[in-house]
Structure 1
């Protein structure tokens, strides 16, 4: 069972129930070599890791490990009482071309050693192979998946989506895997893309698969272990990650940060305050023996990785995941490629319509966010008067700053450098008031203003434009003083006009006529509408924090 708790972009906070235990996602699983454990799993648990992943194929091939795992279980083998996921040998298959185990046999083995989550023995297909080879591998993986599902018992089973770098094939594979009774879905065959910093292609692979996988199951992005990728991967809808990087990088003298990787030999000051970095200096670590140096780097790499997972979780909770993804993307040009590719995908249906934090404009890429696209798509739902009145952006709430309100005669709008056009009748709806931007405009903002104003003005008989907006190039009557449009905000006809507009904007064209005809309102002490009535019957409330209507059952 996978329960969603919070969302932002396509990112999710979830609770995965495994044998009575609830594990929260996003979840990072350090890769454990069952033969060599420099840092014990139970020590990782103290660092904040709720689970680990180990290789059942290695365990099965080693007689001593196999017998111990079969007798006492994989948890006892690792001396770890948290979640244990086991891989099936697909990595060895990709590295060496073959494995000495059958696909059904390895699923049965994972179940027999008490793995919490097992993985099918899929055929990992690397990037850039021929289409015929990739299709053949996908077909074989699907066949193995069909045969593996009935064997899982009470073990959660993970089915892997392959398809190389062919988006259409990834989509087809996702539909096939997603149609089976798996508990977790995975996206595999992507480590070479990450290793070569081909993040644009990585985004295409992940998005092609994820949009065809069921939304009620977590998604594991195999091999994603560098924290610089966690925010982007979560924004694409991935929930579980595994990291061998913490150990592999440490062995090679590499120091992981959320912005990239540093060489220990080049570090003068540790840019981190984890227990390792706050108790030693780079020079002291360099002077350690090989094992001590690797141990220190492994610990740091683990600390910084779990810290980034926590940072991503907090960003999802507060609705600021996009800002975190953007910040991480600007740490490397190729990661920025991936971010810009991600912006081309439509995730509006996944992104929450309201959030607990304000919308921050941080640059031109903010104009491609789901919130902006959603608003522009809903503008056409709102009924319009005969005369369009355009006012410059100002302090919010706009109606109080200007002392004006829309009427049947004058449809007053703000020319917004973030949302294009904001009709005053819906200004209270998130995030039209709940957003912030720098005072200086980017070129892209000016272009948005011009295109939105021109398009929106087409359906009006008369257009009146504040003189500060002459740069928009809109033909109309110019004015300097907005106070000429000052009207009583609480007049019955103006209140009904506003309520109709909010209903249309929120629910769709025609909702205002159906729900708000003749509606009246009671006002809160904050001078905002709080309760909506039809006669003496309470029909809705207007939520103070986001301006949305909550209909009375």
Structure 2
């Protein structure tokens, strides 16, 4: 029906299509059988599926375990050396990631849990790679928001903000510089062509046709560093397309540029 099509479009726009599909597949045995075929294509889909979502992961049953993002999250947990002392319907994970997507499974989150400064290292390792947290947090201070939760990491200046919606970090220009020094090329980098560099420095988004190389392990909507062909940092922002899509697309935004880096 038109109403159902409208709901599908809204789910696509809100990046919550998986939740919508799972709410429908129990309506008929054939739908459930068809959904289970996803397992055969999981590795392909997870390269295209955005890792960051606007809504929590809803657990509806065993079918949720088939989601590509569940497999992706389990792979990324290998980056974290902290003890996996917490469990929900889908994951065994460190307590520090209790509010971090996708471990904050709807209806199972511990609302009384509060982060401390030691937990920030675990979140950074999960987001940017093993060993990143300890080096990034050296000589820093964590500050809390008016709600009492840790939200900001400061050196001399603000380095990063912990987002409330998914408990992952957004970088400032100072934070991007620090991360760039920590991570080896090509980790978490998208390279702009020479002709695009002046525009990125002025705050313009990096368009797909001007993205010449990138970290193949990235996923859409992740925090990335924008570099020039000499690996000089020129900006930081949100990757809007997966690496597989960057290979094919000639139009559209590759990286939404949040902040430029001064020379």
Task: Please say whether Structure 1 and Structure 2 have the same fold, judged by a TM-score greater than 0.5.
Answer: yes
**Aligned equivalents of 1:412 and 1:330: distance in 2?**
32
SS in 2 for 1:539: strand
1:252-401 maps to which residues of 2 (within 5 A)? 304=1, 306-346=2-42, 347-384=45-82
Going from structure 1 to structure 2, the CA distance change for 1:525 and 1:365 (only over 3 Å counts) comes to same
- 1:83 equivalent in structure 2: none
- 1:414 equivalent in structure 2: 86
Structure 1 contact 359–436 (Cα < 8 Å) conserved: no
Going from structure 1 to structure 2, the CA distance change for 1:509 and 1:362 (only over 3 Å counts) comes to same
**Aligned equivalents of 2:128 and 2:104: distance in 1?**
19
**Aligned equivalents of 2:28 and 2:84: distance in 1?**
43
SS in 2 for 1:431: coil
Following superposition, the deviation at residue 434 of structure 1 comes to 4.8
**Aligned equivalents of 1:502 and 1:309: distance in 2?**
38
**Aligned equivalents of 2:125 and 2:27: distance in 1?**
42
- 1:501 equivalent in structure 2: 122
Going from structure 1 to structure 2, the CA distance change for 1:327 and 1:343 (only over 3 Å counts) comes to farther
* 1:531 pairs with 2:202: no
Structure 2 contact 96–115 (Cα < 8 Å) conserved: no
RMSD: 2.5
**Aligned equivalents of 1:381 and 1:506: distance in 2?**
9
Going from structure 1 to structure 2, the CA distance change for 1:380 and 1:522 (only over 3 Å counts) comes to same
Following superposition, the deviation at residue 502 of structure 1 comes to 1.0
- 1:545 equivalent in structure 2: 165
* 1:426 pairs with 2:97: yes
* CA offsets 1:50-80 (integer angstroms, 9 cap, x no match): xxxxxxxxxxxxxxxxxxxxxxxxxxxxxxx
* CA offsets 1:240-275 (integer angstroms, 9 cap, x no match): xxxxxxxxxxxxxxxxxxxxxxxxxxxxxxxxxxxx
- 1:91 equivalent in structure 2: none
Looking at both structures, which has the greater relative contact order when contacts are Cα pairs under 8 Å and sequence separation is at least 6?
A: 2
Q: What is the TM-score of this pair, normalised by structure 1? A: 0.28
Query: What is the number of residues matched between the two proteins?
Result: 167
**Aligned equivalents of 1:326 and 1:527: distance in 2?**
35
1:150-229 maps to which residues of 2 (within 5 A)? none
SS in 1 for 2:85: strand
Structure showing greater Rg? 1
Q: What is the TM-score of this pair, normalised by structure 2? A: 0.56
**Aligned equivalents of 1:431 and 1:527: distance in 2?**
23
Residue in structure 1 matching 2:107, options 411, 436, 458? 436
Going from structure 1 to structure 2, the CA distance change for 1:314 and 1:340 (only over 3 Å counts) comes to same
**Aligned equivalents of 2:68 and 2:139: distance in 1?**
33
**Aligned equivalents of 2:27 and 2:84: distance in 1?**
42
SS in 1 for 2:143: strand
Structure 1 contact 315–321 (Cα < 8 Å) conserved: yes
**Aligned equivalents of 1:377 and 1:540: distance in 2?**
25
Structure 1 contact 367–418 (Cα < 8 Å) conserved: yes
**Aligned equivalents of 2:6 and 2:59: distance in 1?**
24
1:89-104 maps to which residues of 2 (within 5 A)? none
Point out where structure 1 has 5 or more consecutive residues left out of the alignment: 1-303, 385-410, 438-487
Structure 1 contact 530–543 (Cα < 8 Å) conserved: yes
SS in 2 for 1:541: strand
Structure 1 contact 413–422 (Cα < 8 Å) conserved: yes
Following superposition, the deviation at residue 513 of structure 1 comes to 3.4
SS in 1 for 2:30: helix
